């Protein structure tokens, strides 16, 4: 997030992510906070990462119960997000 390539980028960290960071803030803002060494940047990124891991495990459990884990695993490994896989 510290690289200048995020300056002016008004997209969320990950499109469609249900976390509050992606819903309320864009890449430009989080990048600015990171470059300014604000602790808020760390908090926002942690919120995003914890939400991502929660979604990953929740959907993995559902796929295991439905007997479709191999398809889910393949989708995740090919780059899909947990909420779209």
* Ranges of each domain in the chain: 4-77
Q: Output the pLDDT for position 10.
A: 93
- pLDDT at position 70 over 80: yes
User: How large is the greatest C-alpha to C-alpha distance in the chain, in angstroms?
Assistant: 47
The answer for residues whose C-beta is within 8 angstroms of residue 7's C-beta and 6 or more apart is 28, 31, 32
pLDDT tens digits, one per residue of 14-57: 999 999 999 999 999 999 999 999 999 999 999 999 999 999 99
């Amino acid at each position: 997030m510290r690289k200048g390539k995020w300056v002016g980028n008004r997209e969320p960290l990950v499109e469609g992510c249900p976390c509050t960071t992606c819903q309320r803030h864009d890449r430009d803002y989080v990048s600015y906070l990171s470059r300014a060494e604000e602790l808020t940047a760390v908090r926002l990124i942690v919120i995003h990462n914890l939400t991502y891991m929660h979604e990953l495990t929740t959907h993995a459990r559902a796929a295991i119960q439905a007997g479709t884990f191999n398809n889910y695993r393949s989708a995740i490994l090919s780059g899909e997000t947990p909420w779209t896989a």
